[in-house]
Amino acid sequence: MAFLRNLGVARMPLLRGVQQAIRSYTPVLTTDTMNKNMLGVRYEVRGIIPQRAKQIERELKEGVEYPFKNVVFANIGDMHAMGQRPITFARQVLALCIYPDLPDGMFPPDVHARAQRILDSCGGRSIGSYTDSAGMSVVREDVCNYLERRDGRPVAMENLFLIAGASQGIRVLLQFFMNGGVGGGGVCSRRKPPAIMVPVPQYPLYSATLTELGAHRVDYFLDEDRGWRLGVENLYELVEKNRDTYDMVCLVVINPGNPTGQVLTEQNMKEILQFCHKNNVFLLADEVYQDNVYNSDRRCYSFKQVLNTMGDEFKDFQMAAFDSTSKGFLGECGFRGGFMEVVGFDPALLAQLHKVMNTKLCPGTTGQIAVSCEVNPPVEGDPSYPLFKLEKDRIIGSLVKRARLVKEKLNAVDGISCNPVEGAMYAFPSVTMPQKAVEEAEVGPWQCVHTVKADI
């Protein structure tokens, strides 16, 4: 007993010391110590106003009374959330890939054939296995064939990457411009900090990503009076204005426009390519809405398609183009499918891009399957074609009507004007506020939230 008592006495100071050590622990990661670039990130598409709307939606379910019964979220281009029905062919292929034991004959033969082709390319014939980092070879073959049909030239598969939505590929590519220059973290031949030219208005993915990377952003303004045209004369002025400050390395172009809804003409695209060529600027072409075109007089060209007409002096031109299953006629946002094609990368640079993509392991397999269904849909003569065509035409037709309706209704309101919505999924109206209202009101996101609270 004495031994035990002595042992207990000996242990007490040690225990108190451990407790003291635990109590004195200071959190390592706080808003004071975190990456300051991330503190500056703003992504209002999912910012405080949508967050307040979510709160109201929860309160409605809990029985809180409001002068309305539902909240409609129009802050993001989520087609299925707005009532669009999925394309049957895509969902049937996905169903068979997820559960191959579904009975033979349950779906049309071309659905079974597509699912078997995809499963044959997966380890263990299961989409639960990892794929190549760049994506399944059979899906990349589908994309290469699609791009050859669209742009008129073969595509080397090593230049193509399947990605978890266009956003992932855009983030990866932008990082390639950041490590170097004045103040950079690596060895670089640039004598000035690199800067990325971004359109205004723009999709806030770009401003948020560049802020996170600590990158320099230079805004260029689209011309609202000319249907949101990209005036290349403004780009030349920006380069000249910033010549002593930045190395203008990359131009972001969103076509069709998000959120402005314009579709660039072929001539305008040629002018943009000529600007990039003359100033040694990399072109980042965000083309996720290329299937969303509502003006029958306006054809949507890809930049690669136009580049192929520009002559031998453009043979070393560098660009990257992005597409996504979240938009177009599929609207499969949640599967996070997309692809990226790079152009003009030498073998050493391409190897570095493949190395970085290897760290991502692979994009989700359901998203890859959705890509296959987007770029290689049923064609005339296939059993699934009649229903596929009916569904696709119905979706695009509905969007055409909505685009016209939004423009007409907005222009009918005093103080609001809106250009025709030629493509994409958004209208960007101009709102003229009375001068007295401008003087008396401070308008900002927090004020909007407080106004919502006060009015409701």
**pLDDT at residue 399 is higher than 50:** yes
pLDDT for 191 beyond 90: no
Q: How far apart are CA 220 and CA 234, in angstroms?
A: 7
What's the average model confidence in pLDDT over 231-257?
90
pLDDT at residue 106 is higher than 50: yes
Residue identified by tokens 């314009």 is 262
As a whole number, mean pLDDT of residues 225-235 equals 90
pLDDT digit string (tens) for 282-337?
A: 999 999 988 888 888 888 999 999 999 988 899 899 999 999 998 888 888 888 89
What pLDDT does residue 4 have?
46
Give the pair of three-digit tokens for residue 44.
């209002």
Average pLDDT of the chain to the nearest whole number = 85
Among 286, 208, 176, 172, residue whose Cα is nearest residue 44 = 208
Kindly tell me if the per-residue pLDDT of 70 is higher than 80.
Answer: yes
Average pLDDT for residues 59-83, to the nearest whole number? Answer: 84
- Asked which of 39-48, 292-301, 341-350 is least confident by mean pLDDT, the reply is 39-48
Highest mean pLDDT: which range of 33-37, 116-120, 312-316: 116-120
**CA-angle at 445, arms to 442 and 447, nearest 5°:** 45
Q: Which residue has the higher pLDDT, 168 or 388?
A: 388
Judged against a pLDDT cut of 50, whether residue 183 lies above it is answered with no
Token readout for 363 is 């994009």
- SS in 3 state form for the chain? CHHHHHHHHHHHHHHHHHHHHHHCCCCCCCCCCCCHHHHCCCCHHHCHHHHHHHHHHHHHHCCCCCCCCCCCCCCCCCCCCCCCCCCHHHHHHHHHHHCCCCCCCCCCHHHHHHHHHHHHCCHHHCCCCCCCCCCCHHHHHHHHHHHHHHHCCCCCHHHEEEECCHHHHHHHHHHCCCCCCCCCCCCCCCCCCEEEEEEECCCCHHHHHHHHHCCEEEEEECEHHHCCECCHHHHHHHHHHCCCCCEEEEEEEECCCCCCCCCCCHHHHHHHHHHHHHCCCEEEEECCCCCCECCCCCCCCCHHHHHCCCCHHHCCCCEEEEEECCCCCCCCCCCCCEEEEEECCCHHHHHHHHHHHHCCCCCCHHHHHHHHHHHCCCCCCCCCHHHHHHHHHHHHHHHHHHHHHHHHHHHCCCCEECCCCCECCCCCCEECCCHHHHHHCCCCHHHHHHHHHHHC
Q: What is the pLDDT of residue 51?
A: 86
**208-226 average pLDDT score:** 87
Please report the pLDDT score of residue 199 as a whole number.
93
* Residues whose CB is less than 8 angstroms from the CB of residue 182 and which lie 6 or more positions away in sequence, other chains included: 190, 191, 192, 193
Mean pLDDT within 223-246: 90
Predicted confidence (pLDDT) at residue 186 exceeds the cutoff of 50: no
pTM given for the model: 0.84
Q: Before 259, cis peptide (omega within 30)?
A: yes
On the question of pLDDT at 233 being above 70, the answer is: yes
Q: How many CA atoms lie within 13 A of 83 on its CB side?
A: 6
Judged by average pLDDT, the poorest of 351-360, 392-401, 427-436 is 427-436
% of the chain residues with pLDDT over 70? 88
Angle at the Cα of 68 (from 62 to 72), degrees rounded to 5?
90
Query: What pLDDT shows up at residue 425?
Result: 85
HSE, side-chain direction, 13 A CA sphere, residue 176: 21
Which residues, listed in sequence order, are joined to residue 340 by a DSSP beta bridge? 161, 322
Rounded average pLDDT over 28-51: 77
